[in-house]
């Protein structure tokens, strides 16, 4: 049985760090409020002229090197973003060109903060059916470009960054002891669009627009739907959350991470958290956190790892793999 195995990871954060303190000069907020309600202490913000493809290319190069491959070995790039360089072409094709890769296929996936999980789902299916051999899966955002810097209910929550993984098709035994993706699950429900959306777009307004969110309502849906998705994702292959070594969640709010962890009886140290340092980087948050926890030695070969995310749409999902 062919499995899609994570062979390497990489990430990149823009140089400039914006602290909570710096935000108090722009909007009526406090460091204390932001830390207590979200766990966020700082976020990275892309420099003027620095684009999503710039961040994505840095992360991709690091992931390819980590996998011990060359860009020429990659035959598929799927990039999750809500903040593409251009309305078209896909940011993935810009990364493809910058990696010097002129074969295979590259395209974007748009599922906002759940984009990386959606991209994993697509790539897993393509690798297992022989459509590609070595894929780059990237989550990259310059989310700061969508923020209304006068709206304190949203501008304090987000940051910029990119994370990437290389996934390769490898032969497995067909058991849960195999390395690679064991189970993936994606869901959406378009009825909740107005709780989390951007008020612009090429077809509707001809503008890029700004993020709008009814945070406390999104919060309630997120905790319930994420917990259910992770349970179902594990159950699809006859496992449950007690089998999982680590959970790498979407980094929206420390209180969501704590709430979901509690519901699923995970120990706090099993839940990887980077929200304090990165804030919410939308589609980049899961691969950024995954790269952090692999590089610092917490997640090791053989560990069973659950990824999850929740975002605008609503969209949400989970993916279970063995490193």
Cβ closest to ligand UT7, residue 239 vs residue 264: 264
**CA 261 to the chain's CA centroid:** 18
- Quick check: is 20 catalytic? no
Task: For residue 225, give the 3-state DSSP assignment.
Answer: helix
Alpha carbons 108 and 139: distance in angstroms, whole number: 10
Our finding on whether 10 is near ligand UT7 (CB under 6 A) is: no
Cβ closest to ligand UT7, residue 29 vs residue 224: 29
Alpha-carbon distances, residue 71 vs 13, 67, 76, 100, 135 (angstroms)? 21, 11, 10, 7, 10
> Which residue's beta carbon is nearest to the bound ligand UT7?
215
189 CB-side CA count, 13 A: 10
What secondary structure letter does DSSP report for 57?
Answer: H
Alpha carbons 169 and 4: distance in angstroms, whole number: 5
- Quick check: is 250 catalytic? yes
Per DSSP, the residues of 59-90 read HHHHHHHHTT--GGG--EEEEE-SS-SSSSS-
Residues 153-172 that bind ligand UT7 (CB under 6 A): 153, 156-157
Stretch that binds ligand UT7, among 83-91, 210-218, 261-269, 292-300 (CB under 6 A): 210-218
Our finding on whether 4 is near ligand UT7 (CB under 6 A) is: no
Our finding on whether 113 is near ligand UT7 (CB under 6 A) is: yes
Our finding on whether 118 is near ligand UT7 (CB under 6 A) is: no
Q: What minimum distance in Å lies between the beta carbon of 315 and ligand UT7? A: 9
Residues 43-72 that bind ligand UT7 (CB under 6 A): none
Torsion of CA 215, 219, 225, 227, to 10 degrees: 150
Our finding on whether 279 is near ligand UT7 (CB under 6 A) is: no
What secondary structure letter does DSSP report for 199?
Answer: S
212 CB-side CA count, 13 A: 10
Cβ closest to ligand UT7, residue 64 vs residue 279: 279
- Of the candidates 113, 155, 233, 247, the residue annotated as catalytic is 113
- Quick check: is 216 catalytic? no
Contact 304, 244 (CB under 8 A): yes
Our finding on whether 110 is near ligand UT7 (CB under 6 A) is: no
Residues 214-253 that bind ligand UT7 (CB under 6 A): 215-216, 218-219, 222, 252-253
Our finding on whether 280 is near ligand UT7 (CB under 6 A) is: yes
Q: What minimum distance in Å lies between the beta carbon of 284 and ligand UT7? A: 11
The residues, ordered by sequence, that sit 6+ positions from 112 with a Cβ below 8 Å of its Cβ are 82, 196, 282, 283, 311, 312, 313, 315
Q: How far apart are the first and last CA of the chain?
A: 17
Q: What minimum distance in Å lies between the beta carbon of 19 and ligand UT7? A: 14
Cβ closest to ligand UT7, residue 34 vs residue 132: 34
Cβ closest to ligand UT7, residue 95 vs residue 226: 226
What residues form DSSP beta bridges with 212?
197
Residues making contact with ligand UT7 (CB under 6 A) = 29, 33, 37-38, 113, 152-153, 156-157, 215-216, 218-219, 222, 252-253, 256, 280, 310-311
Catalytic residue numbers read 113, 250, 280
């Amino acid at each position: 049985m062919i499995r899609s195995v994570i062979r390497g990871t990489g990430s990149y954060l823009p140089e400039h760090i914006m602290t909570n303190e710096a935000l108090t000069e722009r909007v009526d907020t406090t460091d204390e409020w932001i830390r207590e309600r979200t766990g966020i202490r700082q976020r990275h913000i892309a420099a003027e002229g620095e684009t999503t493809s710039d961040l994505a290319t840095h992360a991709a190069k690091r992931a390819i090197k980590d996998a011990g491959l060359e860009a020429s070995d990659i035959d598929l790039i799927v990039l999750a973003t809500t903040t593409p360089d251009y309305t078209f072409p896909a940011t993935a094709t810009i990364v493809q060109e910058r990696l010097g890769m002129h074969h295979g296929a590259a395209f974007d996936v748009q599922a906002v903060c759940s984009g990386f999980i959606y991209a994993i789902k697509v790539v897993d299916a393509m690798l297992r059916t022989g459509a590609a051999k070595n894929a780059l899966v990237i989550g990259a955002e310059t989310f700061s470009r969508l923020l209304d810097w006068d709206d304190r209910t949203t501008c304090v929550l987000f940051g910029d960054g990119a994370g990437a993984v290389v996934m390769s098709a490898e032969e497995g035994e067909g058991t849960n002891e195999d390395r690679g993706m064991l189970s993936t699950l994606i869901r959406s429900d378009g009825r909740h669009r107005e709780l989390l959306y951007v008020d612009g777009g090429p077809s509707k307004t001809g503008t890029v627009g700004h993020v709008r969110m009814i945070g406390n309502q999104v919060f309630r849906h997120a905790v319930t739907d994420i917990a259910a998705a992770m349970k179902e994702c594990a159950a699809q292959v006859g496992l449950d959350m007690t089998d999982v070594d680590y959970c790498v969640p979407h980094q929206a709010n420390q209180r969501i991470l704590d709430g979901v962890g509690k519901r699923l009886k995970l120990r706090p140290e099993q839940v990887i958290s980077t929200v304090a340092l990165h804030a919410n980087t939308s589609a980049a948050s899961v691969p950024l956190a995954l790269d952090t926890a692999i590089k610092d030695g917490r997640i090791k070969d053989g560990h069973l790892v659950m990824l999850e995310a929740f975002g605008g749409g609503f969209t949400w999902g989970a993916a279970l793999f063995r490193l």
